[in-house]
Chains A and B, each alone.
Chain A
């Protein structure tokens, strides 16, 4: 064995190798820049790194290499992102449909229930056992009292009339052999009730407070009650009989969205019912309010009805819009969290599996890159970026599919699609986060691969 001396040589010119090769290691002009980065003067560091740092595997190179890695196997890419696509897609569909459906519910709510308040006297005792007694009595002038409140648009009283066995008939026939028939119910209302329950006059007119004050023997029929009694026109002033007494039918009503039972009833003016049947108290006060006035009217109406005992009234008012939304929002958040977790697991495990497989398959490539000068960190970053991009891709595709499904279902069901765009974008971004988490372990594995063993196998 001989030691070959350093001095032997010195003839060959380095510059023969081309102008790419710079002068000797001591001659780096940008050397001070490197020194400032380090802890002290470390010329060796500067000699080792022959070039500007930005030219050595920059972010741009990283993304270009990652893109090639992803694009190399399109079929596998499709399988890899499938889990994420399904997971993210299902999140977007579920949340989107929940939001859309919630929008439909509140739209129906708005039309009828959200603008209606019902006031009844509170009861004592147990209504199940039949000994319930009302605590107080609605005043006869309740509509006038509440109409002055802000947010109240229309109001009307309603009461069931006890006819003490007298049935309602169109013709007074006394036929002892006929089986006892149950006629339509008899109700009494104030003049303004029709509007308050959103009823419509089909023919004739509704009675007014004048009829009530004079206790006129007039009646209005609900549409189905009129049909049963065989009355369809009121021009000829047809009469009906309650027991022996005749009442002139002045109108027929339908709709009655808040009290559909009134369609089957004979409706008398309040004053007439008091005079003829001894009606002692109204049952309930129907109030139509402006949208959103529910909480206000709920608070003020009992005071207006009885300043001394407002607590004796039971008020059914719609909740404020924000409360409704909060409830729906809470449901959605719970669903979102649960589904998000499942998507994270399914998509993440899929990506982690395939990326790990791909790391093992690409050992040769990793070894080659290391031999060409890649650091462990370069390798790790490449796989992390690949995984993040795959996750992001899955998230974007999943979110897009989800949006299309929500829109498609909404079109089929004639709904208005409601979808928070931030939620859709967030779901897509969540795909990227899944990719990041799933890629960390495979990337560490890739970085730990020794180039020697990796190069042995070939690519």
Chain B
């Protein structure tokens, strides 16, 4: 798209990145479990939000719904202004690929592929133009400080480095939202601090982050904190 074209287009409409409205998730079968009950949440572009709560409080369920890996039983979830609750599986896959970057507790790197390949994997499904893929993957790795490890396999990297690769993979497709699930759960204090610093940098660059954690130190770095207790969300100041 050229600049000239852009001039003719209407001014972009601003949406919250995430908007949950009366979102409920119930797991059927005796006994019926209400993992989320009427959750409301708005996350605006550039927010750095942490979600804290004890185990079994519905953290994972919320993460899965935010990541479009699970559907709400009722209520609506607008991602980037788009309704997702009734969207087809195909559309939800496209939304995941184009708008959400995941960082997992256990990194989830393919052990047989190089660091660069692992990052490139995210560009395959998100529709990054083929010509830009390698350059953007290298830029992303450069950004997380691993530009010198392109041809290494994950097995030869430290835990902190692996999580950096995972973060590079999460941001390479320029998502609207970075979802991190216990990103420091498998790391020591020093590596955790490095990852949190990286998150701060990403946040400064304008990325919207949601970090799910039970670690108060991690949650303290966020600009907004939401506590989840028995399926109910509450903003903490």
A residues adjacent to B (C-beta < 8 A): 1-6, 8-14, 16-18, 20-27, 29, 44-45, 47-53, 55-58, 60-61, 65, 68, 72, 364-365, 367-378, 450-452, 455, 458-459
Contact = CB atoms under 8 A, between A and B. Distances in A.
B113 A373 contact: no
B174 A49 contact: no
B26 interface: no
Contact of A9 (B44, B112, B117): B44
B98 A369 contact: no
B197 interface: no
A278 B233 CA distance: 128
Contacts of A367: 108
Interface in B103-152: 104, 106-113, 117, 121-122, 124-130, 136
A55 B128 contact: yes
A371 B206 contact: no
A132 to B, nearest CB: 83
Interface string B165-179: 000010001101000
Nearest to B130: A55
Given A55-B127, A373-B126, A12 B40 contact: no
Contacts of B70: 452
A17 B93 contact: no
A375 B90 contact: yes
Given A13-B206, A47-B82, A52 B129 contact: yes
B94 A373 contact: yes
Contacts of A458: 106-108
Interface string B63-80: 010010110000000001
A9 B97 contact: no
A49 B127 contact: yes
B32 interface: no
A75 B30 CA distance: 46
Interface stretch (B5-13, B50-58, B213-221): B5-13
14 contacts: A5-B42, A6-B15, A9-B16, A9-B42, A44-B83, A47-B82, A49-B127, A50-B127, A56-B127, A68-B112, A372-B96, A372-B97, A373-B94, A375-B89
B129 A6 contact: no
**5 nearest interchain CB pairs?**
A373-B97, A51-B127, A24-B12, A16-B206, A9-B44
B198 interface: no
A378 B127 CA distance: 13
Pick from B64, B69, B87, B124 the residue with the most CB of A within 10 Å.
B124
Contacts of B169: 372
B110 A365 contact: yes
Contact of B13 (A24, A68, A72): A24
Contacts of B1: 22, 29
A25 B81 contact: yes
A373 B10 CA distance: 29
Contact of B94 (A11, A20, A48): A48
A22 B1 CA distance: 9
Contacts of B81: 25, 47
Of the listed residues B87, B93, B99, B207, the one surrounded by the most CB atoms of chain A closer than 10 A to its CB is: B93
A371 B174 contact: no
Contacts of B121: 368-369, 372
Given A12-B206, A18-B174, A55-B129, A374 B14 contact: no
A6 B42 contact: yes
Contacts of B33: none
B96 A44 contact: no
Contact of A373 (B45, B46, B96, B136): B96
Interface string B147-189: 0000000000000000000000100011010000000000000
Contact of B124 (A2, A52, A57): A57
A418 B173 CA distance: 57
Nearest to B61: A452
Nearest to B102: A371
A452 B87 CA distance: 18
B17 to A, nearest CB: 9
B125 A459 contact: no
A16 B46 CA distance: 9
A5 B93 CA distance: 28
Given A5-B42, A27-B9, A72-B112, A51 B126 contact: yes
A17 B44 contact: no
B40 A2 contact: yes
B98 A17 contact: no
B122 A372 contact: yes
Contact of B40 (A1, A45, A65): A1
A3 B40 contact: yes
B97 to A, nearest CB: 2
B6 A1 contact: no
A51 B82 contact: no
Contacts of A55: 127-130
Interface string B196-227: 00000000011100000000000000000000
Nearest to B40: A3
Contacts of A451: 69
Nearest to A457: B106
A12 B46 contact: yes
Contacts of A72: 112
Given A27-B12, A58-B130, A377-B90, 11 more contacts: A2-B234, A4-B235, A9-B14, A12-B45, A25-B13, A29-B1, A44-B83, A50-B99, A52-B127, A56-B126, A371-B69
